[in-house]
Amino acid sequence: MNALTNDQPIERIRFAEQQDMVQATRIRPRVSLHVALEAPRMFSSFKRALREVFQNAYRAGATRVDVRWYRETAILEIADDGPGLAHPQILLDAGTSSWNPGEIIDAAGLGFFALLNPSYVETLEIISHGAGDWRMRLTPDDIRRAVEAGTNEEEWIPIEPIPEIAQAHGLIVRIGVTEKERANLQRDMFIEARAQYPYQVMYVENDKPPELLPLYRFEPERFRIEMTVGLAYWKFPAGLWRPRAIACWEYVPIYSAQLDEALSQAVSLNPNPALADLAAQALVQWNVDPRCGVRPRLPERDELLGDASLRAAACALVAAIADDMLTRARADFASAPDRIVVGNVPSEPFSEWLLHAHASEILLKQLGYARAELLDGSDVGIERVDDDSWNAKYPVTEVYSRTAPIVGDEQLATTLNFLGHEVAHEPNAPIPNIHIRDLYQDLKTSPFIALAAEIEIEGIGEVPFLIQSIQSEYDLLTRIVYVGNAAKCVEWLHQEVWPINYLFVANQNGEWVSFDGDEYVFEREEALEQVMRGVAKAWASTLEDQLRSFYDMQRALRCIEECLRSAESAAHWLEPHRTLAAQEYPAHLAVLCDQIRVTKDLLSGALECRALVPRLNSIDK
């Protein structure tokens, strides 16, 4: 028997040959008892442990890995087509590796020990063909006994040489899975464990597709940049949601909080933070080049180390993506017009850059464009968010312009756009002087409308109204300051559709919404009445009385119309019945219907004759 002492070099492992069969030998794990017991527990799950098997196959140069799960015997088999393993001792030595040391970055040598956690594994069998032809069988407890045995070779791990098979090569790992872990062995678990290793993984289970494709793959529209810190994939951000970038270490994807933090720091250090933030959001995956000094946290490689190397790499990533993004955008906008209406240029090379809301606005600002919103207040839609919330909005036409004026007040920009000017808003832009003469406001009685004698905007001149944000007792409200008296304002509100619609959307006023079945409904007439009566009550008491009378008559008319429909329906149901008891009712109902119709006509005529919006000559102060 050829024994191996604890200090014997790996190269001296030999098997004593006989004529028919190679005689078995035993080897001893060259680790401390502490490492032998604690190393298997350093991996938080069986999935993490299995990933070590796939990593070893990659490092061995495998092009295919076959996974077989025998449920009846609870044996999981993972076989690769690599060169095999010459020295079984290497698997039992923490801190060594049989592959090129120059290619090994985190040679902790603990991958094999990940499979010796008794919570997941009952038995383990390793079979090698090619570089070495041998079989090793053991249990998690065998490692402890072998380490504790010292020079007692009887407790060491047995190695069984096996016959060489022509053209056979690779490593087979057979795992006897514990009863506790068997239920967790599902196809998705193997897909995640195989990571993005660039080889084929086959798995046969019922009628499911046999190939286990990587969980994270890239669509063709994603851009790629080769840099000194690695290969970066990026995609223009699609919305306000900020996805987490994936750092890929040796084909293992890592959702790294440390990378997120480093990217945020890189944005703050960049001379163009708005564009840099866009670049940080655009990063989809970064395949780390180990030469940049970035390292994963061992042993599971589930997080990056948040050190200076990672911070430097994050700055390089942000700068490179921002530069690539601008270079591509400039090329696509080379022949673009000075004014672009979003949605009207579907076939232009720059059209894809326009469809991403705030992200598009940031990028196009770098190209000299400002974004203006042309509002259509003629219609309002309510989007149901969930069972208890909704969002009101109206149609908006987005325009990117190189010539539109830019103001730093969003409500002023909205005012001018409603007045037909094409104006963009940017928070840090100058705000022209606004002069309001004789402002009348009553936040309690008329929170949504104020009155003024005159409004003049620097560079524009006099305007008939102005939209403002104002702090009420409880909330920040959006209101309209109208130039004129209360009567003219009420007439304007009645004739123009957009003011009430805009006030509803801008304030998301729940008092003006009802729930009808599965839909939220904007009660526009109720909103109009509330706003108009608020104006009248604040500054024209006579007008307020007339409005109250008019709306009360309208409600009375609706009640009468409902009464008429009910009486006609009752007559319809009684008409077929000719019994003595039922004969007298149709006549009474006919008389009642005639009386209701007369009342309805009289009330309708009265409403038609009344002026809905009486004109007053002055504001009642």
pLDDT, one tens digit per residue, over 435-454 is 999 999 999 999 999 999 99
Q: Tell me which range, 2-11, 230-239, 316-325, 390-399, is most confidently predicted by mean pLDDT.
A: 316-325
Residue 257 has pLDDT above 60, yes or no: yes
Confidence of residue 527 (pLDDT cuts 50, 70, 90): very high
Determine which of 208-222, 384-398, 606-620 has the lowest per-residue pLDDT on average: 606-620
Average pLDDT over residues 69-90: 92
Q: What is the mean pLDDT of the chain?
A: 85
Closest by CA to 264, choosing from 310, 325, 327, is 310
pLDDT of residue 568: 85
Determine which of 276-290, 298-312, 576-590 has the lowest per-residue pLDDT on average: 576-590
73 half-sphere exposure, CB direction, 13 A CA radius: 10
pLDDT of residue 173: 96
Closest by CA to 247, choosing from 172, 192, 302, 187, is 302
Confidence of residue 22 (pLDDT cuts 50, 70, 90): very low
Residue 620 has pLDDT above 60, yes or no: no
Confidence of residue 464 (pLDDT cuts 50, 70, 90): very high
CA distance 278 to 321: 9
Helix (H) or strand (E) holding 550: helix 541-574
Average pLDDT over residues 273-302: 91
In this structure, the strands spanning 283-288 and 246-249 are: parallel
**Token pair for residue 587?**
């006549």
Confidence of residue 126 (pLDDT cuts 50, 70, 90): very high
Q: How open is the CA angle 5-8-10, to the nearest 5 degrees? A: 125
CA distance 539 to 270: 55
pLDDT of residue 239: 59
Residue 243 has pLDDT above 70, yes or no: no
Contact 10, 86 (CB under 8 A): no
Contact 282, 235 (CB under 8 A): yes
Residue 225 has pLDDT above 90, yes or no: yes
CA distance 254 to 306: 13
What is the side-by-side order of every strand in the sheet holding 230-234? 223-227, 230-234, 283-288, 246-249, 252-255
Residue 88 has pLDDT above 80, yes or no: yes
Which amino acid is located at 222 in the chain?
R
Q: Is 574 helix (H, G, I), strand (E, B) or coil?
A: helix
CA distance 105 to 295: 8
DSSP state of 281: H
Closest by CA to 181, choosing from 32, 20, 71, is 71
Closest by CA to 430, choosing from 416, 409, 448, is 409
What is the side-by-side order of every strand in the sheet holding 64-70? 25-27, 157-161, 134-138, 121-129, 170-177, 75-80, 64-70, 200-203
Q: Pick the residue with more confidence: 95 or 226?
A: 226
Q: Is 15 helix (H, G, I), strand (E, B) or coil?
A: coil
Average pLDDT over residues 330-346: 91
- Residues contacting 432, CB < 8 A, separation 6+: 407, 412, 457, 458, 459, 460
- The reply to whether omega before 299 is within 30° of 0 (cis) is yes
Query: For the chain, what is the largest distance between any 2 Cα atoms, rounded to a whole number of angstroms?
Result: 123
Helical residues (DSSP H) of 87-231, grouped into ranges: 140-148, 179-182, 187-193
Contact 194, 212 (CB under 8 A): yes
CA distance 4 to 18: 19
Residue the block writes with tokens 């020079």: 151
Residue the block writes with tokens 């005639």: 594
Contact 480, 499 (CB under 8 A): yes
Helical residues (DSSP H) of 333-377, grouped into ranges: 357-366
Residue 615 has pLDDT above 50, yes or no: no
pLDDT of residue 104: 34
Average pLDDT over residues 575-586: 70
Determine which of 2-6, 419-423, 590-594 has the lowest per-residue pLDDT on average: 2-6
Residue the block writes with tokens 């010796």: 116
Confidence of residue 582 (pLDDT cuts 50, 70, 90): low
Determine which of 175-179, 290-294, 341-345, 434-438 has the lowest per-residue pLDDT on average: 341-345
Average pLDDT over residues 351-362: 89
Closest by CA to 372, choosing from 359, 381, 361, 362, is 361
CA distance 377 to 394: 6
* Radius of gyration for the alpha carbons in the chain, expressed in angstroms and rounded: 39
Which amino acid is located at 387 in the chain?
D
Determine which of 52-66, 343-357, 360-374 has the lowest per-residue pLDDT on average: 343-357
